[in-house]
Amino acid sequence: MDSLIKDYDKILKRQRVLETSDPLDRLIAIVNEAKEKIREDPSSVTRSLAALGKSASSTSERISNEYKELQSALSKYSKGIDKVLPQSFCAFSSQFRSSLPPFYEIYRRYDGGYQPSRIRQQGQNHEEDDSNAFHSTGQLRDWRRIRKGMLIAAAEAGLEVPDSMRHQFVEMFDIVAALKENNLAPALQWATRHRSGLEKRSSTLEFKLHRQRYLQLLEAGQVQDSIAYARKNFGYFGNRHIEDIKRLMCCIIFMDHIKTSRYADLMDPNTNSDIQHMFTRDFCSLIGLSCDSPLYVSVTVGTQAMPTMIKMASIMKAKKTEWSQQSELPVEINLTDETKFHSIFVCPVSKEQASEDNPPMMMACGHVICKESLQKLCRGLSSHKFKCPYCPAESMMSQAKSVFF
C-alpha cells in the first residue's frame, strides 16, 4: 500500500503542475495577431502562416509531452492497484465465512431491542443465512433512515417503529435542529432530566452544554449575565471539571483579544457540531441504540479490515492452507477508536480471547482468567481447591465471579 500512496502523490504533483490553459491562450492570441497582420498586409500571409505553424507545433508538442508524463504515471498507478488489490473479493471472503456469525445475528446483537419480528423469525432458521443476510441488510438500511430523521421514508419502506421510539427520535431531531441554530435550551432541559443516566455513562454532555451557553453570553458581551450563569450552574460540576471551570472564569479578562490569547480554543467554531454529535450519541445510548447505524459501522470496519484480509488470503492460498478456527480470524484487525465498543480480555493462561461461551472469571484472590482455564484448574469440580497460577492463594470454582468489562 505504501507504494500506491507514493505513486498517487506523484500523480497529484504532476496534475498540479500541468498547465494547458495558458499555452492555449497564448496560441489563440498569436492566431488573432496573425489574422490582424494578414488583414492589414495581405502580402505577409506566407510569413505569418509560417510563424503561426511553428508556434502551434511547439505548443502542441509541449502539451503532448506533459500529458504523456501524466498518462505514464496513471498507467503505473493502475498496474500497481491491479498488483496490490485483487479483482474479486469473493475468493478470499469465502475462506473466512465460517469464522463469522450470521449477518442477522450481528444485527440482533447490535440493535437487539428494536429489530422487527420479521428478523427474529428469520433468525430461527439457520439454514437461510443468505436470505436472512439480504433481509437484514434492508432492515439496516431502513433503520439508518430513522437515525437520519427520514421517518416518512422508513414508514414507506414498511419498517415497523414503536410509537414510543418514534416520539423519542422526533424529540432528538427537534433538539438537534435547535442546536444547529445555537439554541441550547432544549438540549439543556433534556440533559438535566437524564442527568443520572448520563453520569452512569461518564458523559460530559451536560457540562459541555452549560460551558457553551456561558461562552455564548460572554461572546455577546453580557459579562455580568455570564458570571451569574456560572455561579448558578458550574458548582455541580466542580469535582470533575474544576480545571475547565478555572479556564472559563479566567478567559473573561482576555475577551477583547481572546482569539490571540491562550484561551482561543474556547471559541473553536467546531464546538457546536461536536456537541451535536455528543448529544446524538448519548441520546441513542440511553434508549439502547448505537449512535451510528450498524450498516455504517459494518462497512467502515470491513473497509479497514480489507487490506489485512486480502494479504492473509493470498498467504493462505500460496501455502495451500485453510483456516478452520471458529468465531475468530487468523490475524488481528486494527480498528480505530470510533469502532471499538468494548474492552477485550485475553486469558493469561490459555492466551485465548474471552467470548460469551468462555467469559473472564475473577478468583477469590482477585486474579482473572477465562472460564475454560478455570475449569481445567479445578478439574471440573466446583468444590475442588486449586492454587492460583499467579499467587499463593487457593480458590474454588464456586468462589469465582464473572467479570464484565
CATH number of the domain to which 395 belongs? 3.30.40.10
Tell me the mean pLDDT in the region 263-281: 89
The pLDDT, as a whole number, for residue 48 is 81
Half-sphere exposure of 256 (CA within 13 A, CB side): 1
Clarify whether residues 259 and 348 are in a common domain: no
In a domain, 193, yes or no: yes
Distance CA 8, CA 76 (A): 10
Q: For residue 79, which of 14, 25, 4, 139 has the smallest C-alpha distance?
A: 4
3-state SS of the chain is CHHHHHHHHHHHHHHHHCCCHHHHHHHHHHHHHHHHHHHHCHHHHHHHHHHHHHHHHHHHHHHHHHHHHHHHHHHHHHHHHHHHCCCCCHHHHHHCHHHCCCHHHHHHHHCHHHCCHHHHHHHCCHHHHHHHHHHHHHHHHHHHHHHCCCHHHHHHCCCCCCHHHHHHHHHHHHHHHHHHCCCCHHHHHHHHHCHHHHHHCCCCHHHHHHHHHHHHHHHCCCHHHHHHHHHHHCHHHHHHHHHHHHHHHHHHHHHHHHHHCCCHHHHCCCHHHHHHHHHHHHHHHHCCCCCCCHHHHHHHHHHHHHHHHHHHHHHHHHHCCCCCCCCCCCCCCCCCHHHCCCCCCECCCCCCECCCCCCEEECCCCCEEEHHHHHHHCCCCCCCEEECCCCCCEEEHHHCEECCC
Range of weakest confidence among 219-228, 310-319, 327-336: 327-336
Q: Is the pLDDT of residue 105 over 60?
A: no
Based on C-alpha coordinates, what's the Rg of the chain? 32
Torsion of CA 238, 244, 248, 253, to 10 degrees: 120
- The gap from C-alpha 367 to its chain's centroid, in whole angstroms, comes to 35
How many domains does the chain fold into? 3
The pLDDT, as a whole number, for residue 122 is 35
The pLDDT, as a whole number, for residue 94 is 55
In a domain, 229, yes or no: yes
The pLDDT, as a whole number, for residue 242 is 92
In a domain, 99, yes or no: no
Q: For residue 356, which of 122, 109, 123, 103 has the smallest C-alpha distance?
A: 109
| Cβ count near 56 (within 10 Å) | 13
Environment class of residue 115 by beta-carbon count within 10 Å: exposed (0-12), middle (13-18) or buried (19+)? buried
- Please identify, among 52, 84, 116, the residue that sits at the C-terminal boundary of a domain: 84
Q: Which residues pair with 120 in a beta bridge?
A: none
Give 62 or 247, the one with higher predicted confidence: 247
The pLDDT, as a whole number, for residue 250 is 92
Range of weakest confidence among 67-76, 105-114, 187-196, 393-402: 105-114
In a domain, 248, yes or no: yes
Q: Is the pLDDT of residue 41 over 60?
A: yes
Tell me the mean pLDDT in the region 237-253: 91
Clarify whether residues 191 and 272 are in a common domain: yes
The pLDDT, as a whole number, for residue 172 is 86
Which domain, by its residues, includes 261? 163-286
Q: Is the pLDDT of residue 27 over 70?
A: yes
Give 167 or 337, the one with higher predicted confidence: 167
Q: Is the pLDDT of residue 230 over 70?
A: yes
pLDDT tens, residue by residue, 50-97: 888 888 888 888 778 777 777 877 888 787 777 766 555 555 555 555
258, 267 contact by CB (below 8 A): yes
Q: Is the pLDDT of residue 153 over 50?
A: yes
Range of weakest confidence among 29-38, 152-161, 170-179, 219-228: 152-161
Helix 271-286 vs helix 205-219: crossing angle, to nearest 10: 150
Q: Which residues pair with 401 in a beta bridge?
A: 362
- Please identify, among 84, 117, 142, the residue that sits at the C-terminal boundary of a domain: 84
The pLDDT, as a whole number, for residue 109 is 44
The pLDDT, as a whole number, for residue 141 is 56
Q: Is the pLDDT of residue 321 over 80?
A: no
Q: Is the pLDDT of residue 131 over 80?
A: no
In a domain, 359, yes or no: yes
The pLDDT, as a whole number, for residue 184 is 93
271, 255 contact by CB (below 8 A): no
Distance CA 174, CA 279 (A): 12
The pLDDT, as a whole number, for residue 183 is 93
Instruction: Write down the mean pLDDT value for the chain.
Output: 76
The pLDDT, as a whole number, for residue 89 is 58
Q: Which of 51-55, 150-154, 332-336, 367-371 has the highest mean pLDDT?
A: 367-371
In a domain, 336, yes or no: no
Distance CA 165, CA 173 (A): 12
pLDDT tens, residue by residue, 172-216: 888 988 999 999 999 999 999 999 989 888 889 999 999 999 999
- Please identify, among 54, 84, 114, the residue that sits at the C-terminal boundary of a domain: 84
Range of weakest confidence among 136-140, 334-338, 391-395: 136-140
In a domain, 387, yes or no: yes
C-alpha cell at 211: 460551558
In a domain, 309, yes or no: no
